[in-house]
């Protein structure tokens, strides 16, 4: 079993990174690997529970919630969260945490592999 850390720096909808990351992380979890994720910059928007888009059955946030349910540890950069008006992540899905770069540095310390998207 390996420990894989993801760095996600882009938000949902605008680019396909949220989709690639969530599918890749889900595949890793299904194979029994440990997954940690640090959401930096606009990446913090992925964990919002308040996303709405009528054309889709599921919105990006739902996929990140599923990752947490499968055991992924997701931490968002607190400075980025507050800078973007997200008030300490009050609308994040439960289990998606707000922290800081020291959490990311610790993830990297524990990781066998580091992926950025």
Partner 1 sequence: MALYLIDLPFAKIGLDTARRDSDAKVVLIQDGVYADASGLSDVYAVKEDVEKRGVASRLGGAKLIDYEELVDLIVENKVVNFA
Partner 2 sequence: MEKNILFMFLRAPFGSIYYTEGMRAVVGMMSGMDEHKVTCVYAGDGAFYCLKGSDKSESAGYVKTIGDISETHYYVEKESLDERGISEGDLDDMYKVISRDDLAKMIAENDVVYDF
Binding residues vs partner 1 (CB under 8 A): 2, 4, 16-17, 20, 23-24, 26-28, 30-31, 33, 112-117
Q: Is 115 strand, coil or helix?
A: strand
CB of 109 to partner 2, least distance (A): 4
Which residues 6-65 are close enough to bind partner 2 by CB under 8 A? 7, 9, 40-41
b (16+ CB within 10 A) / e for 11-34 = bbeeeebbeebbeebbebbeeebb
Query: Among partner 2, partner 1, none, what binds residue 2 when CB lies within 5 to 8 Å by partner kind?
Result: partner 1
| Count of residues that bind partner 2 according to CB under 8 A | 16
| Nearest distance, CB of residue 114 and partner 2, angstroms | 5
Site residues for partner 2 per CB under 8 A: 7, 9, 40-41, 100-102, 104-106, 108-111, 114, 116
């Amino acid at each position: 079993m390996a420990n894989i850390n993801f760095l996600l720096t882009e938000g949902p909808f605008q680019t396909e990174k949220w989709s690639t990351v969530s599918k890749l992380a889900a595949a890793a979890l299904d194979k029994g690997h440990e997954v940690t994720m640090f959401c930096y910059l606009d990446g913090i928007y992925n964990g919002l529970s308040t996303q709405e888009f009528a054309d889709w059955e599921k919105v990006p946030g739902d996929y990140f919630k599923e990752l947490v349910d499968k055991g992924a540890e997701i931490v968002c950069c607190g400075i980025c969260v507050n800078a973007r008006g997200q008030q300490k992540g009050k609308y994040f899905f439960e289990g998606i945490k707000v922290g800081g770069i020291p959490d990311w540095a610790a993830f990297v310390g524990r990781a066998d592999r580091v992926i950025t998207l």
